[in-house]
Structure 1
Amino acid sequence: MSSATAQATLKKSRLLGDTLLVTSSVVFPLIGLCIFFCYPLFLVAGKSLQLADGTYGIANYINVLTSPGIVKAVGNSMILSVSTTAFCLVLGFAVAFALQRSGIGGKRYLRGALSLPLLAPSLVQALGLLFLLGRNGLVHKWTGWDIEIYGFWGLLIANILYALPQAILIIEAALRQSDARYYEAAEILGASKWRQFLDITLPNAKFGILSAGFVVFTVTITDFGNAAVIGGNFKVLATEIYSQVVGQMNFGMGAVIGILLLLPTLIAVYIERVASQKQFGGSSESAIPVSTGFYAKRDVPLGIFVHTIGSIAVIVVITVIMASFIKLWPYRMTFTLANYNITLSGGYAPLWTSLLVSVEAAVLGVIFLFFLAFSMKRISPKLAKIVYLLAVLPVGVPGLVLGISYVLAFNVSDNMLGVLYGSSFLIALCNFYHYHSQGFLTMVTGVRAVPPSLEETVSCFGGGNFRILRDAVLPFMGPTIISVFFFIFMRSMVTLSAVIFLISSKVSVAAVSVMRLDEAGFTSQAAAFSTCIMITVILAMGLMNSLIHLYSKSGSRKEEIKNNQDGSQKRGFARMIDRNYCWTST
């Protein structure tokens, strides 16, 4: 065989391998999306139209819309979500402004304090409020005040505490994009601080504020944990779905309510994405960051205000942790470890199951999302748009709706998919596709940030897609891959709504055990189990930060960043991370 023939054969083999790699990177993740996301949702839509006699029609929708209980739940959900959104926007802007534009002290403490609700199931906020303000709470014992914490006001406070960190993240990212040159020009023209705030700060942050509003609205209207613990007689759509499916085994009505819950969520997600694109798409690569300085008349009262908010968040979580070590809260305040001797609801088995499920979801997520993001630059633009649309669709689907869809799709005996039902792996799949969009957007951001010169260098030396993947993309994307892995792991550990319908007598998860212990009246044991979950998530976060730090210290990566990224590229990467991180906790 001649040298030319050998080279032609080698080139043909390389092209075939490149094509196979790209095709596999697209096909397998899309097959997963179709089977474990699109197909179950299609069944929910069909079930909502299926009548008791097996025929199809809109009678279920008519029954729901004419049911006084459901109509009241819809109204309650809207009132609660709008109220939570209003409070979170005001408080979130104040905190974000303090963190980004003021000279107050303790910013690191504030960021840590306000991130605590993201490290635990949503119902932990409700538990903390019960330990503080409930009928058997500290305030009642110390003052004798009979505070009715169950219902709208308790649920409102719990939802504010849970959703506020997400509003702060988004608004803070929006404020970070401002250009100092506008403020310098205003100073030259003699504009006061208040005038600058009204004419520059607020207009520049308006799309970030709008984006934060719709994120908070979506988080609140779909939350189940707080409503289940502290909602009382204040019924919302999330609890109505649970009641219809678990209490009455009425999957048809549950599917209808799920569709009703899905519609405002999809609208909110669409508006949020448009607002996010306008906010970050309009920023300049050459923008000069706004410097912060201490201004006493503004920063002293602002500091007191935001530190009070941070302290409330800490007190609620710390109260739950303290209650887990108290013999009988709040009457016998003696230290004990008896609350950690949990034998009900499967003991600690659900915690180990949660660890297994979270690792499975994270491993599967990193593999599928990485290859899907890698293929986006190597397929036709039209196909890339379709893939992108399918990949971001899960962000608009509430966890409860996804959970119902999995019951309908996999609780069957007439096809092979039924084998998965009742397994921990199905719960892992549900968690992965629940957070599929956020992980995908972060991976895409990481792939786009890979310097083109790295890929071109590998190509110049005769490397195909496999060599580019191995020698250029993977080494550069280490921190992104680590972040996505731990993001999916941590969210899987605390997720409740997406998996509440998938548990069984043999397989349960930690967040569900907390809810069951609270329902059974073992609130101190529920606090103990919540503490175990929080410790696990905090350890995972610490491990993630350590791994990223070690990776970033490697000499080869530092050299790559130094030689291949200038300041504007770094700012662009940070801006994309800000934009995509907005949805990481919803």
Structure 2
Amino acid sequence: MNTATWSLAPVRREGAWRAVFVALATLPLLGLLVFVAWPLALIVLRSITGDDHAWTFARYAALLGSPRILQAGWHSLAMGATVTAISVSAGFAVAFALHRSRLPGKAVMRFALLLPILSPSLVQALGIIFLLGRAGLVHQVTGWNFDLYGFWGLVFANACYGLPQVVLIVSSSLAGTDRRYYDGAEVLGASRWRQFLDITLPQCRYALVAAAFVVFTVTVTDFGNAIVIGGRYRVLATEIYAAVAGQLDFGLGAAIGTVLLLPAVLSIAVERMVARRSGRVADGAMVVQAPRNIARDVGLGLVAFVALAPILATTAIVVYASFARLWPYKLGVTLANYHVNLADGFAPIVTSLQVSLLAALVGTALLFSLALAQRRMSGPLAAVSSFLALLPAAVPGLVLGIGYLVAFNDGPLSGWLYGSIAILVACNFYHYHAQGYLAMVAGLRNVPAALEEVAQCLGAGTARRIGEVVLPYAAPTLASVFFFLFMRSMVTLSGVVFLVTPALNLAAVAVMQLDMNGSVSQAAAYATCVMVVTGLAVAAMRLAAARASKMVKRSRHVA
């Protein structure tokens, strides 16, 4: 009897373990169904039904028959292709300078790459206006005039915004290349140029393809820069805003939004293909050490300066303009611009802090639960769970915002959800759900499976196994995901621009409103406050990551 009981105990514990993991997955998957799949389905449904709820493709026929929409679509494609070509070329050069050179000042380069991530997307457009606009600093000093509003202004602003994303993607590929490939090429007598063509480029080709699709998708669906510096150069993102916010035509907005889903879905498909083909970096890979080469470093330094100087200049000029008495005529320093003329003053920043903290706390908990449950899933359930978790990556922010309008403006959830902090928290979290999920899954791979098995054999309960085995190893990832969600929630604009109300505004939207009202210096002051908050979050993230790493080291020592 005792023998039978002992033999059945591990089976029962494993059954309880699986039941807990199913329970952990239920709430995150339910949230994805309610806040992603349902709004997305309603957008597509609204685009193919008329006002009488009959099935029709009249809205798509209207799009194809509208010269304005067709022109906006062509503008989006042309701008997206140009920005992608510039960003990928410059981003590869900057990433190469960071990882394959002995350039001094790499900390400054990384700081410049961090700036667009810390600020709302329209900050680059604001900086370009302050610097090169008709009343910009360059015009005041030199008298030169630039045709800034339109295609080239958008290309400039979006390239500054897309460059850090290219560097981030390509850097992971360059950092993972094993030095022994280059050592073997040296032995065979291959020149530096031959090594670049035969080793470096093939190793980075999938990362470059992924970066190109990411930048193209972000550019085509970006709203912030387009509304500030686009002028008469209309793109699909501004057409959606005009249809929904200006004309209250949700059907037309849904149809344009469905069209914008196509490049995003294609981008996700390509990224998945790239992830499969690129494979994983082998354990024990040796880091490439760049040899001394003055000509290479000088060339890469010049390219990096040309690529990063605009980011530094546009951000610095925005901060400076926030202290100017009357830009650009009275440049004396004053704090008057920080007394904004919005009815709610700095309340949007407080609201953004509340929303961002809630999105980070709730989001990190849900992502941890889902990633933890995913470790024990298999078969169709695992495939469906992974699909739902990655689905938000294919939904641009503007489209998600329209989906929330359609889904939660009326119905059973509208009474307590629409116009509340909850809908803003949900929009911010699910907008970046896929990135957080991938980071969490990658982080949980660091948990030693053998250590979990030992804890199970010793009879540790589910809660104890999670608390004493999984959490210590996952702590750095939890900290990174928390601060990632917080920072992106603070600066995002496109997803929430349709969801704010006069009583519940957000900081990024307030920057746009101040600029549209002509209060450009106050818009700069608001944007500077946002950058300061996100900058402090980065500092806190590094401190938390350092402490979490120490915790992992202690856990490994004990193990």
TM-score band by shorter chain is over 0.9
Where does residue 397 of structure 2 map in the other structure?
A: 399
Does structure 2 conserve the Cα–Cα contact (< 8 Å) formed by 1:110 and 1:310? yes
The CA distance in 2 between the partners of 1:19 and 1:216, in whole Å, is 40
The CA distance in 1 between the partners of 2:199 and 2:4, in whole Å, is 66
Where does residue 448 of structure 2 map in the other structure?
A: 451
The CA distance in 2 between the partners of 1:305 and 1:374, in whole Å, is 43
The CA distance in 1 between the partners of 2:262 and 2:344, in whole Å, is 36
Deviation string 1:77-98 (CA, Å, 9 cap, x unpaired) is 0000000000011101111111
Does the C-alpha gap of structure 1 residues 307 and 145 become closer, same or farther in structure 2, counting only changes over 3 Å? closer
1:145 Cα deviation from its structure 2 partner: 1.6
Structure 2 portions without partners, runs of 5+:
none
Where does residue 560 of structure 1 map in the other structure?
A: 555
The CA distance in 1 between the partners of 2:40 and 2:5, in whole Å, is 51
Does structure 1 conserve the Cα–Cα contact (< 8 Å) formed by 2:264 and 2:393? no
Aligned partner (choices 472, 492, 509) of residue 512 of structure 1: 509
Does structure 2 conserve the Cα–Cα contact (< 8 Å) formed by 1:21 and 1:466? no
The CA distance in 2 between the partners of 1:416 and 1:99, in whole Å, is 49
Does 2:342 match 1:347? no
For the residue of structure 2 that corresponds to 1:333, the secondary structure is: strand
The CA distance in 1 between the partners of 2:276 and 2:108, in whole Å, is 31
Does structure 1 conserve the Cα–Cα contact (< 8 Å) formed by 2:18 and 2:376? no
For the residue of structure 2 that corresponds to 1:378, the secondary structure is: coil
Does structure 2 conserve the Cα–Cα contact (< 8 Å) formed by 1:179 and 1:290? yes
Does structure 2 conserve the Cα–Cα contact (< 8 Å) formed by 1:104 and 1:294? no
Does the C-alpha gap of structure 1 residues 186 and 366 become closer, same or farther in structure 2, counting only changes over 3 Å? same
Aligned partner (choices 297, 307, 318) of residue 316 of structure 2: 318
Does 2:54 match 1:55? yes
Deviation string 1:15-59 (CA, Å, 9 cap, x unpaired) is 675344212111111111111111111110111012133322101
Does structure 2 conserve the Cα–Cα contact (< 8 Å) formed by 1:345 and 1:517? no
Does 2:382 match 1:387? no
One-letter amino acid of the counterpart of residue 405, structure 1? G
Where does residue 250 of structure 1 map in the other structure?
A: 249
The number of residues matched between the two structures is 559
The CA distance in 2 between the partners of 1:126 and 1:184, in whole Å, is 45
1:550 Cα deviation from its structure 2 partner: 2.1
Where does residue 283 of structure 2 map in the other structure?
A: 285
Where does residue 140 of structure 1 map in the other structure?
A: 139
Does structure 1 conserve the Cα–Cα contact (< 8 Å) formed by 2:24 and 2:373? yes
Deviation string 1:107-159 (CA, Å, 9 cap, x unpaired) is 11111112111100000000000000011101111111221110000000000
Aligned partner (choices 474, 479, 500) of residue 471 of structure 2: 474
Deviation string 1:165-221 (CA, Å, 9 cap, x unpaired) is 000111111111222222222222222211211122111111111111111111101
The CA distance in 2 between the partners of 1:170 and 1:403, in whole Å, is 27
The CA distance in 2 between the partners of 1:239 and 1:18, in whole Å, is 50
Does structure 1 conserve the Cα–Cα contact (< 8 Å) formed by 2:360 and 2:483? yes
Where does residue 492 of structure 2 map in the other structure?
A: 495
Task: Normalising by structure 1, report the TM-score.
Answer: 0.92
Deviation string 1:403-444 (CA, Å, 9 cap, x unpaired) is 0000011110x4234420000111000111111111111111
Deviation string 1:308-364 (CA, Å, 9 cap, x unpaired) is 322221111010000000011121011100000013152111111101111111111
The CA distance in 1 between the partners of 2:135 and 2:91, in whole Å, is 31
For the residue of structure 2 that corresponds to 1:334, the secondary structure is: strand
Greater shift in the superposed pair: 350-359 or 52-61: 52-61
The CA distance in 2 between the partners of 1:352 and 1:491, in whole Å, is 16
Where does residue 28 of structure 2 map in the other structure?
A: 29
Where does residue 301 of structure 1 map in the other structure?
A: 299
For the residue of structure 2 that corresponds to 1:344, the secondary structure is: coil
Where does residue 356 of structure 1 map in the other structure?
A: 354
For the residue of structure 2 that corresponds to 1:544, the secondary structure is: helix
The CA distance in 1 between the partners of 2:556 and 2:200, in whole Å, is 32
One-letter amino acid of the counterpart of residue 228, structure 1? I
Within 5 Å, which residues of 2 pair with 1:98-109?
98-109=97-108
Does structure 1 conserve the Cα–Cα contact (< 8 Å) formed by 2:472 and 2:555? no
The CA distance in 2 between the partners of 1:14 and 1:191, in whole Å, is 58
Does structure 2 conserve the Cα–Cα contact (< 8 Å) formed by 1:482 and 1:547? yes
Does structure 2 conserve the Cα–Cα contact (< 8 Å) formed by 1:350 and 1:509? yes
Within 5 Å, which residues of 2 pair with 1:159-174?
159-174=158-173
Does structure 2 conserve the Cα–Cα contact (< 8 Å) formed by 1:18 and 1:466? no
The CA distance in 2 between the partners of 1:18 and 1:272, in whole Å, is 33
Greater shift in the superposed pair: 520-529 or 144-153: 144-153
1:558 Cα deviation from its structure 2 partner: 1.4
Does the C-alpha gap of structure 1 residues 10 and 182 become closer, same or farther in structure 2, counting only changes over 3 Å? closer
The CA distance in 2 between the partners of 1:450 and 1:386, in whole Å, is 24
Does the C-alpha gap of structure 1 residues 155 and 416 become closer, same or farther in structure 2, counting only changes over 3 Å? closer
One-letter amino acid of the counterpart of residue 486, structure 2? F
For the residue of structure 2 that corresponds to 1:185, the secondary structure is: helix
Does 2:545 match 1:523? no
For the residue of structure 2 that corresponds to 1:149, the secondary structure is: coil
One-letter amino acid of the counterpart of residue 219, structure 2? T
Structure 1 portions without partners, runs of 5+:
565-586
For the residue of structure 2 that corresponds to 1:477, the secondary structure is: helix
The CA distance in 2 between the partners of 1:92 and 1:380, in whole Å, is 38
Aligned partner (choices 406, 421, 426) of residue 424 of structure 1: 421
1:14 Cα deviation from its structure 2 partner: 5.3
The CA distance in 2 between the partners of 1:109 and 1:345, in whole Å, is 38
Does structure 2 conserve the Cα–Cα contact (< 8 Å) formed by 1:360 and 1:428? yes
